[in-house]
Amino acid sequence: MIKSKLCKEIGCQNPVFSHLYCKYHQHKRTDKKPVQLKRVELKKSTKPIPKRSKKRIEDDKTYYQEKDRRSKEVGKEYLVCYISDEKMYYDYTNKKHWFDIHHLGNKIETKLLEFDRCVNVKRCYHDSLHQWSIKRLLEDQWYNIFLAKLKIEHKDMWLKEMRRQLKARLISIEEYNAL
């Protein structure tokens, strides 16, 4: 069996790494000056990273133009809320936000400009739809009207809402599979 060389530092039993010193005692070498790291200043970017891409800014512009077009389309009288079938009257105090557009799919990337799956809704219902739990939503009558409408017109979105109920354990897997 070959014995490995040991560090020349007194009392150290570690194997030699280089120039008769172990890894822990390399700083005691006298054959060359210790290498010092050069500090390099990082160049600060003059432009901050944009929060939204140029394409997203253009898509948002198109989206809001469509929202304005829908607003003007009714002659500033009223729109019918898709969720509750209530009339939404024009609000002269808050002209830009008198109704919301709800995307029946998702509002991400390419789906932002798919206006055939967009519906006009009241802001209170729209906020509730996105913020409340499914258990809380099922307690309100307007949500059940919305589900019935989805079942007839957009079966895929209705199944998505049923999956939410399945995840919350409000329906069983057998009931879901029977749909």
Mean pLDDT of the chain: 80
Compare 33 and 61 and report the one with higher pLDDT.
61
Whether the model clears a pTM of 0.75, i.e. scores above it, the answer is no
pLDDT-wise least confident of 39-48, 56-65, 85-94, 156-165: 85-94
Residue 124's pLDDT band (boundaries 50, 70, 90)? confident
Q: What is the pLDDT of residue 109?
A: 66
Query: The tokens 């039993």 sit on which residue?
Result: 13
Residue of 84, 88, 99, 101 whose CA lies nearest to 141: 84
Q: What is the pLDDT of residue 165?
A: 86
Mean local confidence (pLDDT), 122-131: 85
- Per-residue pLDDT reduced to its tens digit, 135-151: 898 898 888 888 888 88
